[in-house]
Chains A and B, each alone.
Chain A
Amino acid sequence: MIMDWTHAAPTILAAFLASLVEFVEALTVVLAVGAVRGWRGALGGTGLALFVLLVLVALLGPAMTRIPQDLVRIGLGTLLLLFGMRWLRKAILRAAGIIALHDEEESYAKESAALRALGLAHGWDRIAVSTAFKITMVEGIEVVFIVIAVGAGGQGLLVPASLGALAALLLVVALGVALHRPVAMIPENMLKFLVGVLLCAFGTFWVGEGMGVDWPGEDWALAALNAGFLAASLVLVRLCRARAAATVPVS
């Protein structure tokens, strides 16, 4: 099968970067659970959540193929836009200094302190299992959604999207095993900015396709949408910074 790289490359990139951000956030909590309450519960909860997520993908994947392609594009494109716009808005506000940057080291310290305060258990630690299960499910559902949303809009794109997410998972697991501490060296806030741009571009493209819009330049319009959202976001960072500076803080 010949791959259409004008679609496959941004699909792999979007799935890889978005999944990377989510996996790094999950890894921080799983590491805290493992270090404070033991690795049996941490890995047990993570494994259980991964199993549930696989079942979810196995059920949702085939169901998608039974829905008309235009409706899938409009539905998933709309969800992708809601998700991407929320993400991009937050990234713009973080870059402008209006809301605090996300810090994995700080999250790790907070999570560790909270888990320590709950006291230790013997045998299967329910708190460890449920904490690891919950964070893996929450971040994993986001990854599943991203993979399906960026992959299901076009023919044969689900495989490249899944490969992008799998590569991110392997990278984060390798870093976690090697470092045994939160992966703080990945510029997470900049990644979120770029992922927000990619998701908005994909969402707009799929929604437009579903509505029957003939994009000028066809598939190359996706690159133009990425450039457009990136340029607009960079301008918005400056405008938000100026707007915040001109506003008297409320005490």
Chain B
Amino acid sequence: MAWAKTMWDEFYGLFVDDGSLAVAVLAWLAVCWLILPRLGVTSLWHSALLFTGLVVILAESALRRARQRR
């Protein structure tokens, strides 16, 4: 079991470092996939919003970590 837990921890660690970053990315992708098309957003705006949202999420996470400098 210890072996399986180690493998799971390694696998989880591949994708999640800052938990709130991962949650925000998943939430934004869900919005872009399920909500934006229903709002009649054009494809050009859809692609621009997808990219911009991800950059904003990355910026928030990095700047938050920079503020917590030790």
Asked whether, in the complex, the Cβ of A228 is within 8 Å of the Cβ of B51, the reply is: yes
Asked whether, in the complex, the Cβ of A79 is within 8 Å of the Cβ of B17, the reply is: no
A174 at the interface (CB under 8 A from B): no
Name the residue among A83, A134, A141, A208 with the largest chain B CB count within 10 angstroms. Answer: A208
Q: Give the residue of B21, B67, B68, B69 whose beta carbon is less than 8 angstroms from that of A89.
A: B21
Asked whether, in the complex, the Cβ of B11 is within 8 Å of the Cβ of A141, the reply is: yes
Q: Give the residue of B29, B44, B62, B68 whose beta carbon is less than 8 angstroms from that of A207.
A: B29
Give chain B residues whose Cβ lies under 8 Å from the Cβ of A244: 66-67, 69
Q: Give the residue of A200, A212, A247 whose beta carbon is less than 8 angstroms from that of B69.
A: A247
Asked whether, in the complex, the Cβ of B58 is within 8 Å of the Cβ of A213, the reply is: no
- B68 CB to nearest chain A CB (Å): 8
How far does the alpha carbon of A78 sit from the alpha carbon of B23 in the complex, in Å? 12
A195 at the interface (CB under 8 A from B): no
- A218 CB to nearest chain B CB (Å): 11
A125 at the interface (CB under 8 A from B): no
Asked whether, in the complex, the Cβ of B66 is within 8 Å of the Cβ of A96, the reply is: yes
How far does the alpha carbon of A145 sit from the alpha carbon of B17 in the complex, in Å? 17
Give chain A residues whose Cβ lies under 8 Å from the Cβ of B57: 85
Give chain A residues whose Cβ lies under 8 Å from the Cβ of B33: 74, 207, 211
How many of chain A's residues have a CB under 8 angstroms from any CB in B? 45
Give chain B residues whose Cβ lies under 8 Å from the Cβ of A200: 54, 58
A92 at the interface (CB under 8 A from B): yes
Asked whether, in the complex, the Cβ of A81 is within 8 Å of the Cβ of B29, the reply is: yes
How far does the alpha carbon of A228 sit from the alpha carbon of B21 in the complex, in Å? 19
A204 at the interface (CB under 8 A from B): yes
Could you give, for residues 11-51 of chain B, a 1 whenever the CB lies within 8 Å of some chain A CB and a 0 otherwise?
A: 10011111001100110010011000100000110110011
Given the interface contacts A96-B66, A247-B67, does A229 sit within 8 Å of B55 by beta carbon? yes
Nearest A residue (CB) for B59: A236
Give chain A residues whose Cβ lies under 8 Å from the Cβ of B17: 86, 89-90
How far does the alpha carbon of A92 sit from the alpha carbon of B44 in the complex, in Å? 29
Nearest A residue (CB) for B36: A211
Interchain Cβ contacts under 8 Å between A and B, 19 examples: A78-B29, A82-B16, A82-B22, A85-B57, A86-B17, A86-B22, A89-B61, A92-B58, A145-B14, A207-B32, A211-B33, A214-B44, A214-B47, A221-B47, A228-B55, A239-B59, A240-B65, A240-B66, A249-B69
Per CB-CB distance, the 9 closest pairs between chain A and chain B, nearest first, are: A240-B66, A82-B15, A243-B66, A214-B43, A244-B69, A86-B17, A232-B55, A244-B66, A213-B47
- Show the binding face of A for B, using Cβ within 8 Å: 74, 78-79, 81-83, 85-86, 88-90, 92-93, 96, 98, 134, 138, 141-142, 145, 200, 204, 207-208, 211-216, 221, 225, 228-229, 232-233, 236, 239-241, 243-244, 247, 249-250
**Extra pairs beyond A74-B29, A83-B14, A229-B55 (9, CB < 8 Å):** A89-B58, A204-B54, A207-B50, A208-B47, A233-B58, A240-B66, A241-B66, A243-B67, A247-B66
